[in-house]
């Protein structure tokens, strides 16, 4: 299957119904009909969490007098927290345990996110397809954070599975996260489409044999 990585037009009328769509020449009512399962990344894809993650990192790193390069961290989007912590430790030549630093950041971000997180527009696709196709979340966040956020926003019931960083050994760009999503949905990998906002996630989808939508282009 050819990946769906392409820019999209302005508002048009769906080719198959009268609904106005601001994405593709067909609306979400019809454009994903050929897929048996839909998989969504969480941070930056269906939830607006990225600014809060950066704020939490600044707070935690300030305790140690460390800094981080925000542009470099963008390149690590989709990575588990401990891997980002490891990159920051290396940048600062610090003698810290990346897993312990990651735990501090996770603790900091939990309370912040519950107060600030909001759904992104793509959540409308989730709502449109609820009950029509099985859907899951495949995220680089820890399961405690992902489950808490989705429940807090009243979104958890839309997804038959949530696969997080602590559920797989190999993280994005490895395909494990999305393959486990497909398995838990009971859908063959090649019949799934992935919605992602990060290069690592798009690479993971490709390696899993799945089509992908780069939501940064929507």
**Of 161 and 144, the one with more pLDDT:** 161
- Reply yes or no on whether the pLDDT at 112 is more than 80: yes
Range 10-28 average pLDDT: 42
**Could you tell me the pTM of the whole model?**
0.78
Residues forming the active site: 41
First to last CA, the chain: 20
Residue-averaged pLDDT of the chain: 86
- Reply yes or no on whether the pLDDT at 122 is more than 60: yes
Q: Which domains does the chain have, with CATH numbers?
A: 28-48+118-217 (3.40.50.1000), 51-116 (1.10.150.240)
pLDDT number for residue 46? 98
d(CA 35, CA 11): 24
Q: Reduced to 3 states, what is the DSSP secondary structure of residue 106?
A: helix
């Amino acid at each position: 299957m050819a990946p769906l990585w392409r820019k999209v037009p302005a508002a048009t009328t769906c080719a198959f119904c009268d609904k106005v769509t601001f994405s593709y020449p067909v609306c979400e009512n019809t454009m994903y009909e050929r897929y048996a399962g839909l998989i969504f990344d969480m941070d930056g894809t269906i939830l607006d969490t990225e600014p809060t993650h950066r704020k939490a990192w600044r707070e935690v790193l300030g305790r140690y007098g460390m800094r981080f390069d925000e542009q470099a961290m963008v390149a690590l989007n989709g990575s588990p927290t401990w891997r980002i912590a490891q990159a920051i430790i290396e940048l600062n030549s610090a003698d810290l345990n990346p897993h312990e630093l990651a735990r501090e950041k996770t603790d900091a971000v939990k309370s912040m996110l519950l107060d600030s997180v909001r759904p992104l527009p793509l959540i409308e696709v989730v709502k449109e397809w609820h009950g029509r196709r099985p859907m899951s979340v495949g995220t680089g966040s820890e399961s405690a954070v992902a489950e808490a956020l989705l429940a807090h926003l009243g979104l958890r019931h839309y997804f038959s599975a949530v696969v997080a960083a602590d559920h797989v050994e190999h993280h994005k760009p490895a395909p494990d996260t999305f393959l486990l999503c497909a398995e838990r949905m009971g859908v063959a990998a090649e019949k799934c489409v992935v919605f992602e906002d990060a290069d690592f996630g798009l690479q993971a989808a490709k390696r899993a044999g799945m089509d992908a939508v780069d939501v940064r282009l929507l």
